[in-house]
Structure 1
Amino acid sequence: MDDELTDQANAIGANRRSLLPVSPELLRALRSIVVAEIDVSGKVISANDGFFLLLQHSPDGVLDHVGAHLINPDFAELVARMQRVAVGGPVYRGLITFVDDRGVSRSLPSTVFRHGDHLGLVAEHDVREHERSLDVVMRLNDELAEQQRALSRANRLLAREKAEQQRLLAELENAQSQLVQSAKLASLGQLAAGVAHEINNPLGFVGSNLSVLGNYVQDLLAVVDTYAASEALIASDASALARIRAVRARCDIDFVRDDAATLVSEASAGVARVARIVRDLKDFSRINESQWQVADLHACLDSTLNVASHELGRVADVTREYGALPEVHCCPGELNQAFMNLLVNAGQAVDASGKGRGQIFVRTGCQGDEGWIEIEDTGHGIAPENLQRIFDPFFTTRPVGAGTGLGLSSAWGIVESHGGRIEVRSEPGIGSRFRIWLPLSRKGLG
C-alpha cells in the first residue's frame, strides 16, 4: 500500500500539478486517504476531505500553519529534510502523529515528498475507526451535557433551599424578637397584677373605713344638733352657755357640718377611682387568662386606655367613638398588649410632631364577618419609604436608645395569631391610622 501511495505522489509531483484532483466525486472517495500540499511556512495550499476529517477542521476554514498538528517528526524537521532532496524525492516515510482541533492525537503511516518548493503529504487512515472515536466523543459530550444539566438543576435546587433557609432564619429571628417582647410584657403584666393585688388590700379597708367614718360623722353631727337644741335649758348658766358657744365658734361647727359630707364623699370617690384603676390594671395584665375566651373588646379597650391615660394624657386628647361590635373569641391579654402598643405608638407620634397637643381617636365597628378597631392620631405621619418596614422587628425611626422597634412588630404578630390583619394609612405631617381587622367567628382559631 505504501508503494502505491508513493507512486501516486511521485506521479503527481512529476507532473507538477496540484495534489488534489478537481473532481468532487473523487474528493469524496478519498476520505480514507490524506492528501495535502503545504508550503514551507506551514500554510495548507490544498487538501482533500480526508485531511480535514483527520484534523477535525472545517474544509471551509483557513489553516495558516499546520505545524501545531504534526508531531513526531514535527513540521520544522520535515521542512529541513525537504531542503536536502530533489523535487519529487521522498522526504519522510513512516508514522506521523497528527493532532486534531480537539487535541486528540493519532499516528498514521505516511509519506512526505518534495513537490516543487512545497511539501506533499499522503497518508491513510481508517475512517470507520475515526467515526467510532467521534461517536465516543459525541457520547461523552452528551453525557457531559447531561451532567451539566443535572448540575444546573442541583444548583437551582440549592438556590431554592438557600432562599428557604434565609426565609426560615428571618422567621426565627422574628419569633425570637416576639418571644423577647412577650417575655417582657408578661413580666410587666405579672408585676402589674401583683401590684394591683397588693393595692387592693389597703383599698378595701380604706374604703370600708371611709364608709364607717361617714356614719360616725353623721352621728357626731346629730349629737351636736341635739346639744344645740338644748341651749335654752342651760341659758340660766351663763358661764356654761358661754363655753359652749366659744367651742362652737372655735370649731366652726356650721362649716364642718357642710364640709364633712363633701370630704367623705370626695374621699370615697377617690378610693373608687383608685379601685377602678387597679381593676383595669388587673384586666389589662390578665396573667391568669391566657386561654382563648369570648371577650368584650370595648371593655378591653377601656381598661387599656385607663392604664395608658397618664402617658397619653400628657400629649393628646383621646376620643372614643365606639360602634356596634359583638363579643369576639380571642385571647384578651394578648389583644390588650396589641392595643397598648398601638396607643403608645400614637402618643409618641403626636409628641414627636412638634405641633403641640394632638388628638387620638379610638373607633370600633364591624363589617361582614369581621370586626375592626381603629386608632388614629394627628402625629407626624410615616414616610412612604418606611410604610413597608414598620412591622419589621427592630425597625424604628426613633433615635438610638429611644425605642426597641418591637412594639408594632409584636402587635402585628398578636393580630396575625388571631387570624386578623392590620391596615395602615398615613400621610406625613397629617397623621396615621391603624385599623385592626379580627374575624368574628372562632372557626380555626384558639
Structure 2
Amino acid sequence: MPVPTTVPPAEAAEQQGRVIPRQSFALVVASYTFRNLPPLSEKTKDVATALFNSLVDQHFNRFSRRGSRLLLNPSVIEFQDTMKELQKICAEEPDSSFFMCLLTHGARVTRGDNEGSYVLFSETRLSSEEELILTAVHERELAEMIHGEAHYVVLQPLNALASLNVFVLCAGIACKNKFVAVELCQTQEPKEKLFDDAVTIRHRIHDQFLSHLHKQLVQLRVQELLDSGFHLPGNAAITKETVQTNPKLLNLILVESCDVKTEVPVRANEENVSNFLLRLRDAFRSGVMVSSLDDDDDYQQGPRPSLFAKEVLTYVRSTVRSDAAKHNDIVHAEYTSQVRTKYERAAEFQDITHTPGVLGAEYAVEFGLGETPGTQGILHLYFVVLISDFSRVCVQSQSHQQYHQRRQHSSRRR
C-alpha cells in the first residue's frame, strides 16, 4: 500500500512498528573457481556483481558505498581482513543494518576438536584437517565475525595485593539489524554414503549448519550482555530464550539457500547460476517493488521508502520455490511424453525442490535494507527482468529439446 505523501517514509514506517536504519552496509562474497573443488558457473561473478551494484547504486538501494564490499574468489585472509575493515566502519553507525550474502562451497569435520562446518574459499585445501583450518573459516569463527569476538585485556597490578584489571574489547559488526544469506551446499553427498571411517572431512556442511550458526550468535549476544552488566526490566534473567525472542536484544534474520539434507541449489536459468542468488539480485533491483511504480519525477531524488528485510525474504523464498516448481512442470511434461509406462515414469522421474531455510524472522522486528529503487531504476529493471525471464524459458526449452533428442536416439538404438 503506498505511503501517504503527507507522512514522511521514515515516520510512516515507525508508526507501523518498523525500524528505519540510519545507514545500510553490505558484504557480497562469491567464490566460483577453486583449486581443489568443483567450479561453479563463471556467470556467478556477473550476478554477484549485479547484486552488489544494485545495493550501492543511487538509482536503486543506496547502501553505503564506503561501508560495503564485493569479494570475488577471495582468499581466507582477504575475507577475514575485509570483515575487520567493515567492523570498524559499522561501529561508527550502530543504528544501522547489515546485509551479507555468502556463496561458496562448504565442508565439515565429523568429529574431534575441529568438528563443525567450514566456509571454503578458492584456495582451500582439504587434504587434512590442519590444511582445512588454515584455509577455511569455521562456523564458530564466522559467528564471531558477524556478531563480534570478545578480546580480554588484562592489566597487571602495580603490587601483588592489588586486583587484576580486566577490560573487554569487542570487535564485530555492530549494526543492530542483520540479514545474512548463505549458500554453502553446492554439491550433494552420494546417497549410499560409502565413506572411509578414518576420513573425517566431508565435502558438504552439516545438515544443521544454520541452526548451529544461529545458536552461536545467540550465545555470543547473551555473553556480551552479561559481560557488560546489562539488566532487563524487573531484573529478569538474561537467557538464550530471552535474547532470541526479543528483537531489542537481537534483531537477526538468517537465510540458507536450501535444505542441506536433501537439496542442492536449482540452476534453471541461462546463467546456470543458483536461482537463490538470482532472486536475491532481483529482490534488490526491482522484484519487490515492480508492481508499485511511482510516477513522481522527484521520487528518485528525494527521500524514498525503505526496502524491508522481510519483504526481501518473502520474495526470495516464494520465487525460488516457484522456479523449482515451474522447472518440474516443464521437465515432467516433456518426460511423460517419452516414457512408455507409468511404472517407468515413477521409477526414473524425481521432482526437484529448492526450499530456503530461515531462522530469526519469527521474532525479528521488520527493518530496512537500503531504500526502494527509484523510478528510473525500476523502469530499467522491469525490462531487464522481462528479457531475463524470456531467456530462461528459451534455455529450458532448448534443454528439453536436447533431452527429447537423446530419448529418440536411445529408442532407435533399442
TM-score range, shorter chain: under 0.3
Q: Normalising by structure 1, what TM-score?
A: 0.22
User: Rg bigger for which structure?
Assistant: 1
User: Which structure has greater helix proportion?
Assistant: 1
